[in-house]
Structure 1
Amino acid sequence: MFAIRRVRDHLDLRYGEPLTLQTLATLSGMSRFHLIRQFRAAYGVTPIHYLSHRRIAKAQDLLRYANLTVTEVCVLVGFSSLGSFSSRFRALVGVSPSDYQRRYAHDTPHIPGCHLFMYGVIRQSGRSAGPAAGPSVEA
């Protein structure tokens, strides 16, 4: 179970980076297929689906509160294609990223993207420091 938790923590910390199932399997010390079975048994979804949900959840936060374009958000959360980001976002949220962002355009004040980068909430690699932007510990 410790290996599965390590994989989940890795996905939570590095969701904005390119991650492969083979990388996660190596991290866990399991085969790809065993990792998928064990991860699904523990969390109810495969590691790749968990990563996709994590990326979309972070994208929702950024679209709602940050003054960033949809394309910038797409890249920051780890998608390499705006089309795949938009279709996955629509499938999980029910609206396009642009419509989602417009919905919140006047409801909340937006944080300038440069401030998010400057204070470490968003790092250049696309990873987030989380709600409390303190020093991060790399494993």
Structure 2
Amino acid sequence: MPRAGWSPTDDRNRRLLRARDAMDRDFAERLDLPSLAKLAHMSEGYFSRAFRTAFGETPHHYLQRRRIERAMSLLRDPASSVTEVGLRVGFDSLGAFSRVFRAVVGVAPSQYRDRGLVAAAPVCFVKTWLRPVSFGEAPAPRAPVR
């Protein structure tokens, strides 16, 4: 039941944001469609359709992209292996991590790491430059900025 003064659309969007916030916060945890739909107080099918309408991608793709964004940041630290990074961001295996990373970014995690560090710039610029677009729309690999 929507809060007093809220339209049904406002209430639905608030519940979708609650689920998206959980994905942003707990991206490394095992999050599945039933638990996210339950968090949003929606059926699985309705949640998936409403999420895609509201945010432009399925909950699964949003979560995978969020994990890859974090992995891109962690890969800039040479102290941890590619496998460790994949496990830290919520993937079960190196193979799954590499496959999704390549689908989103356009290069393998090890190739991404080999491209080198980004030149000193404000964090907001670096995040914008390095943010993956979405599945199937990976930009062509760029040369590292030095």
TM-score w.r.t. structure 2 length? Answer: 0.70
Note if 1:101 corresponds to 2:113.
yes
Corresponding residue number in structure 1 for 2:94: 82
Q: Which has the higher contact order (CA 8 A, sep 6+)?
A: 1
- Distance in 2, matches of 1:88 and 1:74, equals 10
Equivalent residue for 1:7, pick from 19, 33, 45: 19
Corresponding residue number in structure 2 for 1:128: none
* Deviation (angstroms), 1:107: 6.6
- Distance in 2, matches of 1:9 and 1:67, equals 29
* Deviation (angstroms), 1:65: 3.5
Q: Report 1:52-91 matches (<5 A).
A: 52-65=64-77, 67-91=79-103
Corresponding residue number in structure 1 for 2:39: 27
Corresponding residue number in structure 1 for 2:30: 18
Which letter maps to 2:16? Answer: I
Which stretches in structure 2 are left out of the alignment for 5+ residues?
1-12, 121-146
* Deviation (angstroms), 1:67: 2.1
Corresponding residue number in structure 2 for 1:51: 63
* Deviation (angstroms), 1:103: 1.2
* Deviation (angstroms), 1:68: 1.1
Which stretches in structure 1 are left out of the alignment for 5+ residues?
109-139
Note the alpha carbon deviations across 1:73-131, whole angstroms, 9 max, x for none: 000100001101101101111111011111116978xxxxxxxxxxxxxxxxxxxxxxx
- SS of 1:68's equivalent? coil
Which letter maps to 1:46? Answer: T
- SS of 1:45's equivalent? coil
Which letter maps to 2:47? Answer: L
| Larger-Rg structure | 2
Aligned-residue identity in percent: 47
- SS of 1:19's equivalent? coil
TM-score w.r.t. structure 1 length? Answer: 0.73
Report the number of matched residues. 108
